[in-house]
Structure 1
Amino acid sequence: MNSVSKILIVGGAILIIAGLLWQVVGRYLPLGRLPGDIVVEKENVKFYFPVVTCILVSVVLSLIGYLFRLFK
């Protein structure tokens, strides 16, 4: 198999596992509803931008990437 196809398959599997974990952990950890997330509700419009959640996910993924590089 080509190396690009292997990377895509592994990446897809990781995304599936992350989605399943998000469903299970989401009941206990309020990701997406943290203080600092922007929610604007008008009559027929709801605008939602999870600023703090994006920052938190970015920091966690950066730390995981750093640890992988450190122990490689």
Structure 2
Amino acid sequence: MNFETIGKIILIFAIVLFVIGSLFYLAGRVGFKGLPGDIFYKKNEFSFYFPIVTCIVISIILTVIINLIFFFLRR
């Protein structure tokens, strides 16, 4: 593996991280607090948040996207 290939991989990884970071930033700006079904518990000074439904939805979306990418790369 030469430096040119490694450089391309790092650039693609950086672009993907930039896009994901931008989506998280925009979601926070519009006030996204999670989906119904996420677990939130607060008592006195303790709070616990587990975004179970949000994780499931993101997992399904990423699975579909990755399968589409592999489908079109095999052609």
TM range (shorter): 0.7 to 0.9
AA aligned to 2:12 is V
| Residues 30-71 of structure 1, C-alpha deviations (whole Å, 9 max, x = no match) | 3x5211100010100110010000000000000000000111
Q: Secondary structure at the match of 1:71?
A: helix
Counterpart CA distance in 2 for 1:48 and 1:5 is 38
**How well do the aligned residues superpose, as a CA RMSD in angstroms?**
1.9
Matching of residue 60 in structure 1 with residue 61 in structure 2: yes
Matched-pair identity in %: 35
Shift of 1:6: 3.6
Which of 4, 13, 20 pairs up with 1:18?
A: 20
Q: Where does structure 1 differ by over 3 angstroms across 4 or more consecutive aligned residues?
A: 2-6
Question: Which shows bigger deviation, 15-24 or 32-41?
Answer: 15-24
TM-score, normalisation: structure 2: 0.76
| Larger fraction in helix | 2
Which of 4, 7, 10 pairs up with 2:9?
A: 7
TM-score, normalisation: structure 1: 0.78
Shift of 1:4: 4.6
Structure number with bigger Rg: 2
Shift of 1:22: 2.6
1:38 maps to 39
